[in-house]
Amino acid sequence: MIAGNWKMNLRFAEAVELVKTIAGGIEGLEGVDVLVAPPFTHLAQVRQALGTTKIFLAGQNMHSEMSGAYTGEISGTMIVSAGCSHVIIGHSERRQYFNETDATVNQRIVAAIRHKLVPVFCVGETEAQREADATFSVLDKQVTDGLQGIASEDLVDLVIAYEPVWAIGTGKTATSEQAQEVHQFLRGQLAKAYGAEFAQSVRILYGGSVKPANIAELMSMADVDGALVGGASLEAETFSQIVKF
């Protein structure tokens, strides 16, 4: 899976034009699922622009409640009604800027499952945590707490995105070996919790300054199953090159 997180970018017309161009650039491509996550205000229009293409649509976040007095929030019901099949949960920017925690991430994953949305569950360590040799303990807690109380049968389509926070928007990229080491660890943690067969079925994406120049090497790693792309997903030709690695 190659997923494009558009974050807080693009006006309506730009979003529609971008997804149409991406769809044209990857037409007929087999063997890879493509997903885009526009801003909430553009979801319905982008879904319409996608037409019968095989590109999946995701929300960038969601509230854990179905409705209520939560001004400015978006529920799973709303995301589904806009045509989404997936939702990004626990992105590092949500954790960093909006005080999301492992507990609120867990609540959102539970809610996503209730709405039959596929969670794209983000985990990752900061530069300080990596330098303190705390990468694996941080990731263990994020995965354990994020999936707390959720049965494997409810996580059949789960996608995990490993995003080293120090590599997001910085131009820095984890080496392919670093990505593989972490992805292998994450798969091992899933195996301990849910069994080896389940762990092998989960797609683990890498996110962090992914570009056409590094996607092939990253994807050559045994446990790297795709990418969550940020800035490079805002350029149709660049994103298409990544998809067609």
Give Cα separations from 158 to 1, 116, 152, 235 (angstroms).
12, 11, 9, 27
The set of residues, in sequence order, having a beta carbon less than 8 Å from that of 102 and lying 6+ positions away, is 90, 141, 142, 145, 146
Q: Is 91 a catalytic residue?
A: yes
Catalytic entry in 42, 125, 163, 183: 163
Catalytic residue flag (residue 115): no
Q: Which of 42, 91, 100, 125 is catalytic?
A: 91
Query: 3-state DSSP: the chain helix, strand, coil percent, rounded to 5?
Result: 50, 15, 40
The answer to whether 130 touches 181, Cβ cutoff 8 Å, is no
- 30: Cβ–Cβ under 8 A, 6 or more apart, which residues? none
| Cα distances (Å, whole numbers) of residue 116 to 77, 85, 107, 125 | 10, 8, 14, 28
Annotated catalytic residues are 91, 163
